């Protein structure tokens, strides 16, 4: 039995979020408890890979035990399951950091997802959120972790019942592994099956049979170990030898996911540089997709030796891709600083990035429905490349899909859009906002709708940025429906509709009056070609920024001053023609109407009236006047 040798071991509390997470996992979240095996075996394999890397510079760390392995020991009599590796091991400080905390952003997202789930629906969350080691408490009422870091004399013991605290202290060196980590699970009564070989072996083979470390199994503590996985790297084998189930199992173990890959990319690059690639596009959004550092999750190996999981192999807008690259050309002793400056890695980055995008193109052309599922999950991330990666912008524009004003909530490509351009249409029109339904009903779209012109409805935060930097698609520039003068007069109205009449002198005079009344609140007031149903709308000046983009930058403190909008008035609207007929003897009504029209345009644009109190008073006066004598 493992014991802490300190007279007074250090007892600590888990972080609050971790304690809640453990409680939820044990009592309500997971329906498939088998996943703990995959998580613990994956951790053990990572430890072996880390040792292989550190041993490149310090071979003495391997001692007289150079071959990595994972040993799983069953003990039916004691109702214990032990998973041991001869990897890098941990110091006590590393154990406290690794086993007593969990990534805050991951915990928060995990807890939010659990709160949104109904009972029994949490079985697929574990891989999505990478809770790893903590999954052991689904089957164990106590977990001991004995560990000795390679090259160190002392060993540490971490122990916890998962109820809120853990103890950590020195371990008896005679009980600890010579190097590596031993995880001992004291199983619950209803988890006794995990001490029986016929139950455990097939689960391990199915979930972790492709980790690059051999796995041996002992069905009793004193039994001879039997190898159940040879540690052959899946990515070095021929595709013809690998089944879809093999790829899925490897993806789940390597990427820490629990879904099925939506796209698998496996190939060997030969020529100037040789490397193997095994990459997956997840079926579900990983929880860390929008982490602030936007780091990728591709692992780098050199001749099957794990080097780092932090190399920027793919651009940040492809960070949802999971997998690995195994290079034959990088030196084994490459440092992590040298990696980023290596011309070999630069060539790998370019080749893998282009291949991933090429595979997405092929999928989009061969199986549109399957591609749309990928786009729905990761389109907002891929569009970051439209802003950041000028060299691949044309490819990314071809991959992009959009909801539009005429698509009935279906996805459309820019090729689809270009095929339906109207006569004399010279631009690709778009509207940027946070809500697609609000965008679709925006007054700025009315003139476009009357002419059957399609408008892209853009609701992702990145949209306001990339459209300003994308010069064109097939020679057609992108233009916001809220920017400058519209050129709709050159485009015929839809069949059966009459062209708008010229603005009458009376209405033109009222527009001039509104302009004079509003003064420097607006940059201009003019008759609108884009309005058909609404009386007014706001647009940006001719060379001004899209209004939504301007508000976004101003809210982030990146604009010292916003431009004054243009108020467009629909000269054919009944309200405008009635107000235009109000005589000079009712100047106060005309003045109130001018300000109310401006505030109405602000409200339609998602803003508050310029002066809410004055708006209320003006509205009250107009309503009182309209109600007749009291």
90 annotated ligand-binding residue = yes
Is 124 part of any known ligand binding site?
no
Does residue 336 have a known ligand-binding role? yes
CA distance 251 to 245: 10
Report phi then psi at 252, rounded to 5. Answer: -65, -40
Place of tokens 């190399």: 311
Q: Does 424 appear as a known binding residue?
A: no
Say whether 105 counts as a known binding-site residue.
yes
Measured in residues, the chain has a length of 630
- Is 308 annotated in some ligand binding site? no
Rounded CA-CA distance 389/532 in Å is 39
Structure tokens at 155: 């060993």
| Annotated binding-site residue? 444 | no
366 known ligand binder? no
Contact 13, 165 (CB under 8 A): yes
User: Is 39 one of the annotated binding-site residues?
Assistant: yes
Nearest to 258 by CA among 95, 33, 91, 453: 33
**266 has which bridge partners?**
278
Q: Rounded to whole angstroms, how far apart are CA atoms 499 and 235? A: 65
Residue 489, annotated ligand binder?
Answer: no
Any known ligand binding at 238?
no
- Segment (H or E) for 55: helix 35-57
Any binding-site annotation on 354? Answer: no
Helix runs in 435-487, H state only = 436-440, 446-450, 463-469
Half-sphere exposure of 571 (CA within 13 A, CB side): 18
- Rounded Cα–Cα distance for residues 157 and 176 (Å): 9
Angle at 533 between CA 527 and CA 534, to 5 degrees: 65
CA-to-CA separations, 72 to 51, 68, 187, 194, in angstroms, rounded: 19, 14, 14, 11
- Binding positions are 39, 43, 85, 90, 105-106, 128-133, 181, 336
- Binding positions for ATP are 39, 43, 85, 90, 105-106, 128-133, 181, 336
């Amino acid at each position: 039995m493992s014991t802490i040798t300190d007279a007074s071991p250090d007892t600590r509390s888990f972080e609050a979020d971790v304690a809640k997470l453990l409680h939820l996992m044990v009592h309500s979240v997971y329906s498939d408890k088998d996943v703990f095996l995959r998580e613990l075996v994956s951790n053990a394999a990572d430890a072996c890979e880390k040792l292989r890397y550190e041993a490149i510079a310090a071979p003495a760390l391997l001692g007289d035990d150079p071959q990595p392995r994972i040993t799983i020991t069953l003990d039916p009599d004691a109702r214990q399951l032990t998973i041991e590796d001869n990897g890098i091991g941990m110091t006590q400080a590393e154990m406290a950091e690794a086993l007593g905390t969990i990534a805050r952003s991951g915990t928060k997202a995990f807890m939010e997802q659990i709160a949104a789930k109904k009972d029994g629906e949490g079985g697929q969350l574990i891989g999505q959120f990478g809770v790893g080691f903590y999954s052991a408490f689904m089957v164990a009422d106590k977990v001991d972790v004995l560990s000795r870091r390679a090259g160190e004399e002392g060993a540490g013991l971490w122990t916890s019942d998962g109820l809120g605290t853990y103890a950590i202290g020195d371990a008896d060196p005679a009980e600890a592994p010579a190097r590596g980590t031993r995880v001992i699970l004291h199983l619950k009564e209803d988890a006794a099956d995990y001490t029986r070989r016929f139950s455990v072996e097939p689960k391990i083979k199915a979930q972790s049979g492709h980790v690059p470390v051999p796995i041996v199994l002992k069905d009793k503590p004193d039994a001879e170990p039997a190898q159940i996985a040879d540690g052959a790297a899946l990515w070095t084998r021929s595709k013809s030898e690998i089944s879809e189930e093999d790829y899925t199992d490897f993806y789940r173990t390597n990427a820490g996911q629990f879904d099925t890959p939506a796209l698998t990319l496996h190939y060997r690059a030969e020529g100037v540089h040789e490397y193997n690639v095994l990459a997956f596009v997840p079926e579900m959004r990983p929880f860390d997709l929008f982490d602030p550092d936007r780091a990728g999750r591709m692992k780098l190996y050199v001749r099957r030796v794990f080097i780092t999981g932090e190399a920027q192999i793919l651009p940040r807008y492809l960070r949802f891709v999971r997998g690995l690259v195994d290079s034959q050309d990088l030196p084994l002793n490459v440092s992590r600083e040298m990696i980023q400056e290596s011309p070999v890695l630069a060539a790998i980055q370019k080749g893998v990035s282009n291949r991933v995008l090429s595979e997405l193109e092929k999928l989009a052309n061969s199986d549109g429905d399957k591609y749309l599922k990928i786009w729905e999950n990761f389109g907002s991330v891929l569009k970051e490349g439209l802003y950041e990666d000028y060299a691949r912008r044309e490819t990314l524009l071809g991959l992009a899909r959009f909801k539009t004003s005429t698509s009935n909530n279906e996805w459309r490509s820019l090729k689809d859009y270009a095929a339906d351009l109207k006569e004399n249409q010279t631009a690709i029109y778009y509207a940027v906002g946070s809500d697609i339904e609000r965008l679709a009903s925006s007054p700025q779209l009315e003139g476009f709708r009357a002419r059957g012109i399609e408008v892209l409805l853009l609701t992702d935060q990145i949209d306001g940025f990339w459209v300003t930097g994308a010069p064109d698609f097939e020679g057609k520039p992108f233009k916001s429906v809220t920017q400058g003068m519209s050129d709709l007069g050159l485009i015929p109205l839809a069949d059966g509709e009459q062209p708008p009449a010229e603005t009458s002198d009376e209405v033109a005079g009222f527009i001039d009056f509104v302009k004079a009344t509003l003064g420097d609140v607006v940059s201009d007031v003019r008759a609108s070609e884009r309005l058909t149903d609404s009386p007014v709308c706001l647009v940006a000046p001719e060379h001004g920024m899209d209004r939504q983009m301007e508000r976004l930058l101003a809210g982030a403190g990146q604009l010292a001053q916003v431009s004054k909008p243009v108020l467009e008035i629909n000269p054919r609207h009944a309200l405008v023609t009635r107000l235009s007929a109000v005589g000079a003897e009712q100047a106060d009504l005309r003045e109130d109407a001018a300000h109310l029209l401006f505030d109405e345009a602000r409200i339609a644009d998602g803003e508050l009236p310029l002066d809410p109190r004055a708006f209320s008073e003006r509205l009250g006066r107009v309503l009182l006047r309209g109600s007749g004598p009291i």
